[in-house]
Chains A and B, each alone.
Chain A
Amino acid sequence: MRTRSNTILLGVFLVLAIGSMGCEEAITLPNRTDAVFTIYGLFNPKSDTQAVRVYTVENVLDVTKPEPIDAVVTSVDLTTGDTRVWVDSLVKFIKDQYGHVFYSPFRAEFEHRYRIEVDRSDGAHVEVTTTVPPLSEPVVKEPDPEIFELITRVLWPDAPNLIDIKVVYHTNVGILEWDYGDSSDRVPGGQVVNVQFRADTRDVFSEAIRAGISPVQLNRVEISAVVADVEWIPPDGRFDPDILVEPGTLTNVQGGFGFVSAGYQTKIIWLPSDEVLDVAGFATE
């Protein structure tokens, strides 16, 4: 029994050892992504130069080296047929980081549709299409002083989409900035932002009491927003980098990753009427 058991166990050893010698030692790599480029940028009709950042999709992680990349960037104005080849500029950012920014010196036209194409020498291709929104400048409608909340309606006529909406209150107590994100409402004829004037300025008076400042003066209100392509909307309504960093979460690039859109910054300076200032608690002239 002892000899037989020893033999059986030795046999088990040999079978397992020999059998397992064939087990793969190498790391099984996944099929690499087909995407070859990642591009970011926008067509800005208020800028004389248009630019996009181009990354190559690589197999290992390393810093971008100060070398040319195998990429040709072309833009096509789909409205006029105008085609341009963009120029690569190797930009050195902070901490010796390099990046490839392709640019072309022209002004994008309002309401024109553009296509960006990036090609590699082996024929790999990515492209993205975007529409420059129409020209729109904000118009402020004075709030009704009879309504306690003092909601101030700001209209961007013909604007398809607004992002990065900010309201900045300049007072003798300090500067107060409110980030409205993309909180605008679509109305016939454009986009409206309802500024919560009284709610926004409540903290100013608390701070004034603490600082012993009286009277409290409101010098001006700056209301700004980016008028953007209708597709420039983050999922879940937030531009949260920890969400958007995931590839594919906010992307419009065909054959690649990234996001290219169109838009421009707008701003209006507004000083409320004496009646509104008085109702809100601010000093008047």
Chain B
Amino acid sequence: MLLYQPFHILGFFSAFPSDILNSVDFYAGGFGARYGGRISSVIDVTTRFGNKRRFAGAITASPFIIGTRLEGPLDETGRHSFLASFRHSIIEQGATHLIDRPVPFQFDDFFFKVHSALTRDSRFSFTLLRTYDRGKIGEDVGETPLAEVRWENQMAGLRYLVLPGSIPVLAEFRIGYSLLTSELGPNDTPIRFARTSRVNTSADLTFYGGLVDIRWGLFARTLNLSSELGGLFQNFAFDKEWVTEVGIYGEPEFKPIRGLSVAPGIRIHSFPSKGETYVEPRVRASYEKGAHRFSGAMGLYHQEIIGVSDRRDATSVFTAWAAVPKKSGVPEAIHFILGYNYTISRRLDMAVEGFRKWYSNLFIAEWTAFPRLTTRIQPADGDVVGMDFRLEYRTPKFYGQINYGLSSVKYDAKQESLELWFGTAKFRFRPDHDRRHQVNILASAKVKKFDLTARWQFGSGLPYNRALGFDGFVLMDTAINVFGEPGDRRVIYEQPFNGVLPTYHRLDLSVERTFEAAGADITLQGSILNAYDRSNIFYLDVFTLQRADQLPFIPSFGIKVEVN
């Protein structure tokens, strides 16, 4: 199943509560042949199944959020279980008791999974997920109602897994449905609406051969994209389109000697609605010897759908999705990744990874001085270079991690009118997701019986478009009568993406202690979010300069009662 928005509003919570996760694999690039249809990165989340032997659960309450988790057997056979989780934010109501500022954000999520061991060799699961997010992004000013942004994810999926004991083969069959709806504007009369849905079917087989494992599979998916873009100064635009993707992949993994793994792969990805089929070679390799691990990956990738945001919306809180035009080819990327891990000691690890990506046949939102959001697009190319560094230190009573990411993203826009506007057929710029530096530092320690945690996050400011002024436009193409020609409003933009938003950084502190009482674990937690009250920007309207910030300084306390 595909989740279009994997993080809740403000990025503070993921859509998945941590206590339902089994594993999370993040591929910044160079992902294997099993994954496709994307040119940047992949996050693969696997959820666990519920306790098949006994009931367990937890209740969490704080001024931020209330939540509950319940799991247990569906019958007495010990082969079937359920897992349910629900979280609802109450920060909008609860925070007002702690600070004197409004915190107009809300989110909730619901997760439900049924898992069955049908036979000794087969498993079946059914999963539902729903998330909802809402945030106010400024007061109405004049007649520019950009009061609220909302989005909702809905997902449902079936998975059937066969692992015969007699042969070393694992087969997985999946059907999934994903839906994302986004709205901008008042709740009852949104001015912008975008809807993206997908039905995906896939079959994946893995043969475990000892020195070689072979993975192969096939998939078919259909996507529906629709958007309604209205608003002041906006020519109303309605788009709807269907696209399909089918393909097959194969990826043997060779382990000829101890520590060495080489996985060359091929993915054939077809986009029938575009009449295009691509052969995507991939290769991943790793070599581990002693405390050292070297890894590398490269591959070719394609992606048919693109997201467009309004230049007015500096932080892209609303995105409309569209498919690339027919007969234009499909956006393509080449990834090249090299990594090195070193276990310095039994307590200290370091890892560094460098990456280079080349993008071609991209499509980005068309640049226009008309103050409107449009799904009209222009061609572009791009490239990315960067590196990630991680240092990890752990002892029985202390854990520390430092992550630093450095990257540079550059695009070359190729809109037809650039030659007239800027005197060049290609315009090189930093796109709005080019965050140059990222730092995450996490430290947690056990002192006496208290768990202390401190987290500091830093991100460079992101590029955005700045306006030098606003006037009007009248098309002088004939002997017009200016008394009868209303004209259009116009934005006098600076050069595209010439501005940089303020940096983002925040320090969060927490302390908690767990007690056992009456067969349950009771955890008391105190926390301070945004300890030095940094005003981190959430939304900026470039036209009116209205701004909404992320969470301010918020002290909080909570309680979690868990029964296992």
A binding-site residues for B, Cβ under 8 Å:
2, 5-6, 9-10, 12-13, 16-17, 20-21, 23-33, 35, 38, 40-42, 44, 51-53, 55-64, 89, 91, 93-95, 97, 99, 101, 103, 163-164, 226, 228, 232, 234-236, 239, 241-250, 257-259, 261, 263-265
A236 to B486, CA, bound (A): 25
**Residues on A with beta carbons closer than 8 Å to the beta carbon of B543:** 60-61
A45–B476 alpha-carbon span in the complex (Å): 17
B487→A53 contact, CB < 8 A: yes
- Which residues in A have their C-beta under 8 angstroms from that of B476? 40, 42, 232, 239, 244, 250, 259, 261
Interface assignment of B558: CB less than 8 Å from any CB of chain A:
no
Beta-carbon contact of A2 and B143 below 8 Å: no
With A9-B443, A17-B532, A261-B476 as known contacts, state yes or no: A57 contacts B368, CB within 8 Å. Answer: no
Which residue from B142, B454, B492, B537 sits with its C-beta under 8 Å from A57?
Answer: B492
Residues of B within 8 A of A42 (CB): 476, 479-480
Q: Are A21 and B532 in contact, with the CB atoms below 8 A?
A: yes
Closest 9 CB pairs of A and B: A239-B477, A93-B486, A61-B543, A55-B472, A164-B478, A40-B474, A38-B471, A33-B468, A53-B482
B398 at the interface (CB under 8 A from A): yes
Interface contacts (Cβ under 8 Å), in number, total 196
CA A75 – CA B240 in complex, angstroms?
Answer: 51
* A residues in contact with B540, CB < 8 Å: 27
Whether A30 pairs with B466 at a CB distance below 8 angstroms is yes
Distance in angstroms between the alpha carbons of A250 and B473 in the assembled complex: 11
Question: Which single member of A91, A163, A236 contacts B483 (CB below 8 Å)?
Answer: A91
Identify the B interface with A (CB < 8 A).
Answer: 141-144, 232-233, 366, 368-371, 393, 395, 397-398, 400, 402, 417, 420-421, 439, 441, 443, 445, 454, 456, 458, 466-483, 485-492, 494, 498-503, 505, 507, 531-532, 534-535, 537, 540, 543-545, 547
> Once the chains bind, are A30 and B486 in contact (CB under 8 Å)?
no
A-B contact pairs, 8 of them (CB 8 A): A27-B545, A30-B494, A33-B469, A57-B471, A101-B483, A226-B478, A242-B370, A247-B490
Q: Among the listed B368, B400, B487, B545, which residue makes an inter-chain contact with A60, where contact means beta carbons less than 8 Å apart? A: B545
**Hey, which chain B residues are within 8 Å of A23, CB to CB?**
502-503, 505
Give the interface centre of B443, B472, B544 by most chain A CB atoms within 10 Å.
B472
| A12, A40, A44, A163: the one within 8 Å of B441 (CB) | A12
Do the beta carbons of B398 and A6 come within 8 Å of each other? Answer: yes
Known: A27-B540, A57-B471, A241-B475. A12 touches B402 (CB 8 A): yes
Q: Is the CB of B368 within 8 A of A242?
A: yes
CA distance A163 to B499 in the complex (A): 39
Q: How far is the CA of A245 from the CA of B477 in the complex (A)?
A: 12
- State whether A24 and B502 are in contact (beta carbons under 8 Å apart), knowing that A249-B420, A257-B492, A264-B479 are contacts in the complex: yes
Q: Which residues of B contact A35 (CB under 8 A)?
A: 469, 471, 492
Complex alpha-carbon distance, A163 and B480, angstroms: 12
Which chain B residue has the least Cβ–Cβ distance from A266?
A: B479
Quick check: B482 and A52 within 8 Å, CB to CB?
Answer: yes
The reply to whether B475 and A58 contact each other, CB–CB distance below 8 Å, is no
- Residue in B closest to A235 when the chains form the complex, CB atoms: B420
